[in-house]
Chain A
Amino acid sequence: GQSLEQPSEVTAVEGAIVQINCTYQTSGFYGLSWYQQHDGGAPTFLSYNALDGLEETGRFSSFLSRSDSYGYLLLQELQMKDSASYFCAVRSSYNTDKLIFGTGTRLQVFP
């Protein structure tokens, strides 16, 4: 079967750095995305990696290693508003829009 594994929960304090890992096992791989979802809200897109390496967007960065089937989301200078669930997602085939999501990581930021 196809699966994406993420830690279920991560905690950190304001101002810290946290890394959320995602390991995938899929029939194909055409990119890794990250989404943020606050309680009661809709997912919002954060970042996308199609090629190996680091992509930086403000305080958030995302990394991909296709040889290791692994990626991570790095959140720097944590703020209370970063408390949310974070999901990784893989596009597993080329000519479709089929997406497989991880089960999500709940990040709690403490003062």
Chain B
Amino acid sequence: EAQVTQNPRYLITVTGKKLTVTCSQNMNHEYMSWYRQDPGLGLRQIYYSMNVEVTDKGDVPEGYKVSRKEKRNFPLILESPSPNQTSLYFCASKEAGGGETQYFGPGTRLLVL
């Protein structure tokens, strides 16, 4: 089944404790993105990647890191999480040149205490 998977789905952590949210897609898509969703603010793009080893900042990259060492994986790293990073995070992927059909993962709900 074609899908984008994220792990963990739920995470409670404390300020300053490094964490990684994994994202994997099995559709051989070139493009991948991370978004955060907060009430009243919609979806905001954190980082995106258009190919292996190619990443770029979205609208809200501060406090986040990403890497794209393999085509299928695009982990999101919070080196020193803070409470204002408490949010719902979505990973997404799409085909290059495939219009704008983007497939989203199920989301990761993060609470930073």
**Nearest A residue to B4, CB-CB:** A42
| A54 interface residue per 8 A CB criterion | no
What's the minimum C-beta distance from B38 to chain A, rounded to whole angstroms? Answer: 10
- The B85-113 residues at the A interface (CB cut-off 8 A) are 90, 92, 94, 99-107
Q: Are A42 and B105 in contact (CB under 8 A)?
A: yes
Interface size class of B (residues with CB under 8 A): 20 to 34
Is B44 positioned at the interface, with any CB of A under 8 Å from its CB?
yes
Measured CB to CB, the nearest residue on chain A to B49 is A97
Interface residues of A (CB under 8 A from B): 31, 33, 35, 41-45, 48, 87, 89, 91, 96-104
Instruction: Kindly list the 6 A-B residue pairs having the minimum CB-CB distance in the complex, ordered from nearest.
Output: A42-B104, A103-B42, A101-B43, A48-B100, A33-B100, A97-B48
Kindly name the residue among A33, A44, A45 whose own CB sees the greatest number of chain B CB atoms within 10 A: A45
Chain A residues with CB under 8 A of B49? 97
Binding site for A on B (CB under 8 A): 31, 33, 35, 40-45, 48-50, 56, 58-59, 90, 92, 94, 99-107
Query: What chain A residues lie within 8 Å of B42 (beta carbons)?
Result: 87, 101-104
B101 proximity list for chain A (CB < 8 A): 45, 48
Write out the residue numbers on chain A whose beta carbons fall within 8 Å of the beta carbon of B92.
Answer: 43
CA distance A101 to B59 in the complex (A): 10
Given known contacts A87-B42, A97-B31, A45 and B102 CB-to-CB distance under 8 angstroms? yes
